[in-house]
Amino acid sequence: MNWSLWAVIAGMAAVTFAIRYTLFGLGGRLRFAPRVQQALRHVPVAVLTAIVVPMVLLPDGRHWDLSWRNPWLAGALASAALALGTRKLLAAIAGGMAVYLLWRFGLGLR
């Protein structure tokens, strides 16, 4: 491992701890306005969607693949359906993986 990977770990550790600790450390001296709390509530959906959608729709990073033969798309749709249907994260992960692997290796699509 070179220095830049250690820098990545150190930097990630620092920002993560800072986010988790700042409010604890200050005790009650800093509070968020309700509006800021409301805004923070949208962060997970916005960030996770922004990460996932390009990976699913452009599996090779360059070309759109909106066909049913796209294992990333099929797996993601299966995960979404299972998450909504069962409300169990583990089921969504396992089922999505199964569909992805079936598409990719079982059907030999890619």
Partner 1 sequence: MDSIPSPSPPHPAGRSTEFFHGARDTLPLLLGAAPFGLIFGALASASPLGVAGALPMSALVFAGSAQFIALSLLGSGASVLVVVFTTLVVNLRHLLYAASLQPQMARLPQRWRVLLAFWLTDETFATVHHRYTRDDDAPFKHWYTAGSGAAMYLNWLGWTAAGAWLGAASPALTHLGLEFALVATFVGIVAPLLRERPGMAVALTAAAVALAGRDLPYKLGLMLAACAGVAVGVWMDGRRRPAPVGETR
Rounded CA gap, 34 and 31, in Å? Answer: 9
Using the minimum distance from each CB to partner 1, give the nearer residue, 67 or 90: 90
The owner of tokens 């890619």 is 110
Q: How far is the CB of 103 from partner 1 (least distance, A)?
A: 9
- Residues near partner 1 (CB under 8 A) are 1, 4-5, 7-17, 19-25, 27-28, 31-32, 34-35, 37-58, 61, 71-72, 75-76, 79-80, 82-84, 87, 89-90, 92-93, 96-97, 100-101, 104-105
The CA-atom distances, in angstroms, between 36 and each of 21, 39, 41, 42, 93 are 18, 5, 9, 10, 31
